[in-house]
Amino acid sequence: MGAVSGFIKYSMFIFNFIFWVCGSVILGISVYARTSKFGQEIIRGEAAGLNTHAAANLLIAVGTIIMVLGFLGCCGAMKESRCMLLLFFIGLLVIVIIQIVAGVLGITFKSKIEKAFVKTFEHEVTTLTKDDPQSLAFQKNLDKMQKKFKCCGLVKGAADWGRNFYKYSASCECPNDIFNDCEDYEGKHVYRESCGQYLITYLKKNLMIVAGIAFGVAVIEILGLVFSYVLWRQIGPN
């Protein structure tokens, strides 16, 4: 067994302990959200219209993977186990590769993703003029979104509501026109921007933030790869 650097060993342990704690928190919250009636109600209130079960299942998978990798890294460092360190290295490397591929695909298909959003909104816009129970649920969710994000309609604005406009016009009404964000429609002063366009603009604005976070996570992961490889080499074959 070769000489093992104490700095590398304990840095590796601390890194993976934090990694494991983060995984435990993600797993705990996602399991609670998936199984608890109260947790599901909270998520539905914050993200109406989304498949919350699928989102919770994805977070459970992510939390579990992070916990397993953190455990392998911690034990591998403290027990100086080449096998555990190798498994940790391979697992983390796979995650980094997936992140890189996802990033490349996101950049490559950025315009296609935007077009897909627009196509979805155009398909759903007819729901605003209907009166069936499923359409009413969608309309109520959009009504809440109009109030929160100061937008109106889904694609073209207030006209999307058709005969239902007066039913939901209160959340569309604009209190002032300081920034020229409003227009007149059917005797009401309403927001010009549609909620679909708001979502697309919001995603574009936050793309750099997401990219920055992803870059920071990737740097940490690469450090984890370097530490695990160096420690694996220092331990040497048993």
Total domain count, the chain: 2
Give the pLDDT band (50/70/90) at residue 45. very low
The whole model's pTM is what? 0.57
Same domain, 140 and 221: no
Residue 1 lies in a domain: no
Same domain, 170 and 224: no
Sign of torsion over alpha carbons 171, 153, 53, 24: negative
161 pLDDT above the threshold of 90 = yes
pLDDT of residue 47: 44
Place of tokens 């695990």: 228
Tokens (6 digits) for 49: 């219209």
- Contact call for residues 120 and 114 (beta carbons, < 8 A): no
Domain span holding position 191: 130-200
Q: How far apart are CA 85 and CA 147, in angstroms?
A: 52
Rounded to the nearest 10°, the torsion over CA 169, 172, 178, 179 is: -140
Residue 118 lies in a domain: no
Same domain, 194 and 212: no
Give the pLDDT band (50/70/90) at residue 74. confident
Give the pLDDT band (50/70/90) at residue 170. very high
Provide the terminal-to-terminal Cα distance of the chain, rounded to the nearest Å.
Answer: 6
72 pLDDT above the threshold of 80 = yes
In a 10 Å sphere around its CB, with 0-12 CB exposed, 13-18 middle and 19+ buried, how is residue 191 labelled?
buried
177 pLDDT above the threshold of 70 = no
pLDDT of residue 64: 86
Average pLDDT of 212-225? 77
178 pLDDT above the threshold of 80 = no
At 21, the amino acid letter reads V
